[in-house]
Amino acid sequence: MQTLSFIQHLVEQGITAPNLIVMPTSVLPNWEREAARFVPDLRTLTIYGTHREGMFTKIKKSHLVLTTYGLLRRDLDELQKYNFNAVILDEAQNIKNPNTITARSVRHINAEFRLCLSGTPIENNLFELWSLFEFLMPGFLGAQNAFKRGVVKPIKDGDDETLSFLRTRVRPFILRRTKSEVAKDLPPKMESTYFCALTGEQAELYAVLAKTLRDQVLSTVEKNGIAKSQMSILDALLKLRQVCCHPRLLKLDMPGLVTNLPSGKFDAFKDMITDIVEEGHRVLVFSQFVQMLHIIRSWLLITGTPFCYLDGTSKDRFGQVDAFNTSPDIPIFLISLKAGGTGLNLTGADYVIHYDPWWNPAVENQATDRTHRIGQTRQVFSYKLICQNTVEEKILALQDAKKGMADAIIPGAETWKSLSREDLEMLFEV
């Protein structure tokens, strides 16, 4: 909305050169709708689809040109022929790795002005911020290797002086839109952690698996070091998280391993969702595991409860969104975090359930904000479902202990320092 208003202002000031907005494919229809609704007088061109050859000649006469990161890579030669007034990256964390084809491509677009839009400009490490600024103002944060050596490493090692330098350097170029500033009348959001207990058989499975994986991970770390063992660590944590969600998610070939077991979390979820619906509320349910959404979907079909569904394979993304927004009798929307965590407006819901929270709270916050946004008139209740005495509870403890590095540079963002061996041992404790 703010970006569209900015472009409308430019046009009203007589700056009529085209403005290019690049975005993930998933939010392209949303930009088209919002442009048609809020800036109907702007000439909008969407460059999308298999037959794009004839579209490029229309760029000069357009105020607003919409395309996706994937197509920009393919169409770069054509797009470079034009001088844009502004090039704007939505969900700009898509260029967090500066050495990808996508990041290199956007840097070759000719534009007078550049803007990055992102709710998570630092998802994993400070170097991602360098990539965004290298697009915005090449060279502003120095060379790539120099930034790693002179800024990222000292800050990671606790150097407050370097942290202060970086904060001072980037602050004039960052506008953070907080809810308290842009929507003072937005109803409150209540966030709660809902603790669940594993069933007896599920707890036994978790204990056996945790011991086995702990031994494997610590052996790998001993051999290769933590930095080179990241995939092994994440894979082990993934398996423990799957057991917490539902043992049926676990695909592991171990002698005597039985996964066709009940899930304490799923039982708690069913009780919670039943109460929410019976009280007349509507709820968004997020999970990172599509198979978990399938289990929930099967249960809803058996109980005859109406619902909408969205994951990365859904072909009717905005059909499902429209159905939920326009049909008060559909109380539940099942959404995969990757497919629906951004770019949707679902203010018809007033409850959010995160079935399986993970490292990055900023990603969860973005998902919750599908309903807690301008247009919402009711209080929003957001729940994280956490299995007690498991890796899920320990991850929450690590989040509290290790947040703050990115927060010092972009207030509200959160990220991680490297895990220590002690952290790993704690995560795999039973």
For 28-89, the DSSP string reads HHHHHHHHHHH-TTS-EEE--SS--TTTGGGGGG-SEEEEEHHHHHHHHHHHTTS-EEEEEE
Residue-level pLDDT at 304: 95
Structure token pair of residue 83: 């001088």
Distance CA 231, CA 370 (A): 31
Nearest one of 48, 46, 44 to 74, comparing CA atoms? 48
Whether the Cβ atoms of residue 6 and residue 323 lie closer than 8 Å to each other: no
Rounded to 10 deg, the angle between the 230-245 and 391-402 helix axes is 130
Structure token pair of residue 340: 């629906």
Burial zone of 213 (CB within 10 Å; 0-12 exposed, 13-18 middle, 19+ buried): buried
Whether the Cβ atoms of residue 265 and residue 245 lie closer than 8 Å to each other: yes
Structure token pair of residue 202: 């599920």
Residue-level pLDDT at 380: 86
Sign of the alpha-carbon dihedral angle for 63, 111, 114, 343: positive
For 221-237, the DSSP string reads HHHH-SGGGHHHHHHHH
Distance CA 374, CA 50 (A): 35
Residue-level pLDDT at 178: 65
Per residue in 250-265, is it b (16+ CB within 10 Å) or e — as a string? beeeeeeeebebebbb
Residue-level pLDDT at 176: 81
* Residue appearing with tokens 């498991």: 390
* Tens of pLDDT, residues 366-383: 888 888 776 777 788 889
Look at the chain and count its residues. 430
* Tens of pLDDT, residues 293-347: 999 999 999 999 999 999 988 888 888 988 998 899 999 999 998 887 766 787 8
> Across the strands, what pairs with 230?
none
* Extents of the domains making up the chain: 2-175, 187-194+264-385, 199-261+393-427
Instruction: Using DSSP, state whether 133 is helix, strand or coil.
Output: helix
Instruction: Classify domain 2-175 at the CATH superfamily level.
Output: Tandem AAA-ATPase domain (3.40.50.10810)
> Across the strands, what pairs with 30?
none
Structure token pair of residue 312: 């990365």
Three-state secondary structure string covering 339-399: HHCCCCCCCCCCEEEECCCCCCHHHHHHHHCCCCCCCCCCCEEEEEEEECCCHHHHHHHHH
Residue-level pLDDT at 182: 58
Domains 2-175 and 187-194+264-385 share a fold: yes
Instruction: Classify domain 187-194+264-385 at the CATH superfamily level.
Output: P-loop containing nucleotide triphosphate hydrolases (3.40.50.300)
Residue-level pLDDT at 51: 84
Mean pLDDT per 10-residue segment, the chain (430 residues):
94 94 82 89 91 92 95 95 96 90 95 91 81 94 92 87 91 79 68 86 92 91 83 89 94 75 92 90 93 96 95 86 91 89 78 83 78 77 89 80 50 48 81
